[in-house]
A and B are shown apart, each in its own frame.
Chain A
């Protein structure tokens, strides 16, 4: 079974600075998706970014980017120009992608990292 580990329970950063959240995972599969989700105080889960394992290029979404190291099974999230609204709990997650190209199965979440952005 796959596991996802986030080793940073809490992080803090000053507004406008950059912060990196760590995630490692363990799987014997070769085809999968990796995700970062954000859960703000409202507790609504929001997809921040996703990465297909077969793509070498790191995914980016505006101020959010990932450093995907497949061999090392590492998937970190970098938040640039941090904003107060980035304060939230962040979850790294994994999901299988079958040979037919269809994503299936359940999401496996890491333990989460609470990020606080200070003014």
Chain B
């Protein structure tokens, strides 16, 4: 299958700082990218959906000013956690989908964010 990368894989930051997570589709053009949050032993919670060149669509309850998503190209989407707090500590997973009739969704390896 296609490859989706995330960087960094782990990040530790101080409370109040901002953190950027990158998601890249390495061998296909991703018309749509998704950002998920996952707590230990829990399901994936969709935070937002982004289409290249458009504003992201956020799920209910997700603060768009806190979780800034940019999908500037067909191979790159970024999630910026602004003014991070300890409760933002979590595992963040991105997913990318190509165009086409089936357009399978491929997942990145995830980023563990720890806010001290």
Q: Which residue of B has the minimal Cβ distance to A108?
A: B46
Which residue from B44, B46, B95, B101 sits with its C-beta under 8 Å from A103? B101
Instruction: Confirm or deny: A75 has a beta carbon within 8 angstroms of a beta carbon on chain B.
Output: no
How many Å from the CB of B114 to the closest CB on chain A? Answer: 15
* Majority-rule SS of A interface residues: loop
Tell me the A9-59 residues at the B interface (CB within 8 Å).
Answer: 42-47
Query: B42 touching A112 by the CB < 8 A rule?
Result: yes
Query: B101 touching A106 by the CB < 8 A rule?
Result: no
Q: Which residue of B has the minimal Cβ distance to A100?
A: B101
Distance in angstroms between the alpha carbons of A114 and B40 in the assembled complex: 12
Chain A residues with Cβ below 8 Å from B17 are none
Chain B residues with Cβ below 8 Å from A91 are 43-44
Query: A43 touching B49 by the CB < 8 A rule?
Result: no
Instruction: Confirm or deny: B23 has a beta carbon within 8 angstroms of a beta carbon on chain A.
Output: no
Query: A43 touching B109 by the CB < 8 A rule?
Result: yes
Query: A44 touching B109 by the CB < 8 A rule?
Result: yes
How many Å from the CB of B45 to the closest CB on chain A? Answer: 8
Instruction: Give B84-96 as 1s and 0s: 1 = Cβ < 8 Å from A's Cβ atoms.
Output: 0000000101010
Chain B residues with Cβ below 8 Å from A47 are 1, 104
Chain B residues with Cβ below 8 Å from A109 are 43-44
Closest 10 CB pairs of A and B: A45-B107, A109-B43, A44-B109, A43-B110, A112-B43, A111-B43, A109-B44, A101-B101, A103-B103, A102-B101
Binding site for A on B (CB under 8 A): 1, 34, 38, 41-44, 46, 49, 91, 93, 95, 100-105, 107, 109-110
Binding site for B on A (CB under 8 A): 42-47, 89, 91, 101-103, 106-107, 109-112, 114
Q: Sample 19 A-B pairs with CB under 8 A, ordered by A number.
A: A42-B109, A44-B107, A44-B109, A45-B44, A45-B95, A45-B107, A46-B107, A47-B1, A102-B100, A103-B101, A103-B102, A106-B34, A107-B46, A107-B105, A110-B43, A111-B42, A112-B42, A112-B43, A114-B41
Known: A44-B109, A111-B42. 4 other contacts (CB 8 A): A106-B49, A109-B43, A110-B43, A111-B43
